[in-house]
Amino acid sequence: MREMGEKRRRGHLNPAGFAGGLHDHEEKKKNEEHKLDMSGMSMDALPHLTMSLGQVTILDLSNNNLESIPESIIARLLNVVVLDVRSNQLKSLPNSIGCLSKLKVLNVSGNLLESLPNTIEECRALEELHANFNELTKLPDTLGFELHSLRKLSVNSNKLAQLPSSTSHMTALRALDARLNCLRALPDGLENLANLEALNVSQNFQFLRELPYAVGLLASLRELDVSYNSIAALPDSMGCLTKLARFSAVGNPLVSPPMDVVEQGLDAMRAYLTARMNGDDGKRKKKAWLPKLVKYSTFTARMTPGRTRVHENTEGLLMSDYRSLNGIASPRFLTMLSPRRLFSPRRNSPKHC
């Protein structure tokens, strides 16, 4: 007991009697010192920072009026993990952002950015990229080739006409938010995003008219929002989305499946799309026997002398434009196949005895 009390006085034990009380407090204080919070200070420009930035792991410059960030400051943030510059007046990001090899979370939302620097792909540890509410018209084409650790990409409320084709290489991606843009199509190869759980491409309004077949191959997808677009038909492959738990398609001119089927719930929608994918639309199809007769030359486009030639694609058939089946059926059967019997209107005259 005396030894335990001595350790407690020296800081080796916490009040519960376990070692590390003072050490934990010092570690917490040390972590707090690694966060540099300059948010909400109404700054138009960053002051000259003489302090060492090499130990900063979290830099918060949000909610200011910054129009630019000096290249030199970003280049000194060798250990930064979280960089938050949201809600400023930034029109561009410094190219030196590619030096942030340990950066995991980047938030540049609520600025005036029209593009992101190509060097951002050098941030290979990046797990979350938030670039909402900007003026982005495009993303770097090669963004997905290097950001293999990216788990969340949020670019809603911009002016994007398309996502980069390299998006299909972001195999760790779990959430993709591209709503409120001008997307005309989704990139090819979406089926490679095997870990994607949430996809939101809603409110692209008149621009987005269809979804690719690959959407139905996203095996991990749980949430899908395609509301307020111009989609008339969902891909049949969506019947395979067995993990899908939340789905919204309101505000679309849906014809297949009809909106009343979608409103019945996910099971009804999946059943409809699966049936259509299997070639069973629930309606009994009529046998198209007339084209078969034409195919096997029972009816032809050849005309007897003295008649005007009729094009092969016409719907009408002249009574003389047929060739009988030789030696296959009895005269009685041939009489039943007579074009005069098949196509002549019924007479209203009374039956003679």
Q: In this predicted structure, what is the pLDDT of residue 303?
A: 42
Please give the tally of structural domains in the chain: 2
Domain assignment of residue 22, yes or no: no
User: Same domain, yes or no, for 197 and 269?
Assistant: yes
CATH number at residue 73: 3.80.10.10
User: Same domain, yes or no, for 226 and 96?
Assistant: no
Distance, in Å, from the CA atom of 93 to the CA atom of 113, rounded to the nearest integer, reads: 8
Q: What is the pTM of this model?
A: 0.73
Of 235, 255, 281, which one is at a domain's C-terminal end? 281
CA 86 and chain centroid, separation: 25
Domain assignment of residue 229, yes or no: yes
Q: In this predicted structure, what is the pLDDT of residue 280?
A: 72
User: Same domain, yes or no, for 68 and 206?
Assistant: no
Q: In this predicted structure, what is the pLDDT of residue 48?
A: 87
Give the least confident one: 225-229, 265-269, 316-320: 316-320
User: Same domain, yes or no, for 36 and 97?
Assistant: yes
CB-based contacts of 106: which residues, under 8 Å, 6+ apart?
83, 97, 120, 123, 126, 128, 129, 130
Question: Is the predicted pLDDT of residue 117 greater than 60, yes or no?
Answer: yes
Range of the domain at 44: 31-112
Domain assignment of residue 251, yes or no: yes
User: Same domain, yes or no, for 152 and 266?
Assistant: yes
User: Same domain, yes or no, for 39 and 102?
Assistant: yes
Question: Please, are residues 199 and 219 in contact by the beta-carbon 8 Å criterion?
Answer: no
Domain assignment of residue 214, yes or no: yes
Domain assignment of residue 40, yes or no: yes
Question: Is the predicted pLDDT of residue 333 greater than 70, yes or no?
Answer: no
Tell the residue number behind the tokens 């993709």, with chain if given. Answer: 176
Distance, in Å, from the CA atom of 207 to the CA atom of 250, rounded to the nearest integer, reads: 16
Give the least confident one: 48-57, 151-160, 226-235, 282-291: 282-291
User: Same domain, yes or no, for 104 and 139?
Assistant: no
Give the least confident one: 140-144, 273-277, 280-284: 280-284
Q: How many CA atoms lie within 13 A of 288 on its CB side?
A: 5
Beta-bridge partner residues of 36 = 59
User: Same domain, yes or no, for 170 and 272?
Assistant: yes
Distance, in Å, from the CA atom of 216 to the CA atom of 235, rounded to the nearest integer, reads: 7
Domain assignment of residue 184, yes or no: yes
User: Same domain, yes or no, for 174 and 271?
Assistant: yes
Domain assignment of residue 120, yes or no: no
User: Same domain, yes or no, for 95 and 142?
Assistant: no
User: Same domain, yes or no, for 237 and 185?
Assistant: yes
User: Same domain, yes or no, for 94 and 187?
Assistant: no
Q: 222: pLDDT confidence band, cut at 50, 70 and 90?
A: very high
Domain assignment of residue 294, yes or no: no
Distance, in Å, from the CA atom of 227 to the CA atom of 209, rounded to the nearest integer, reads: 11
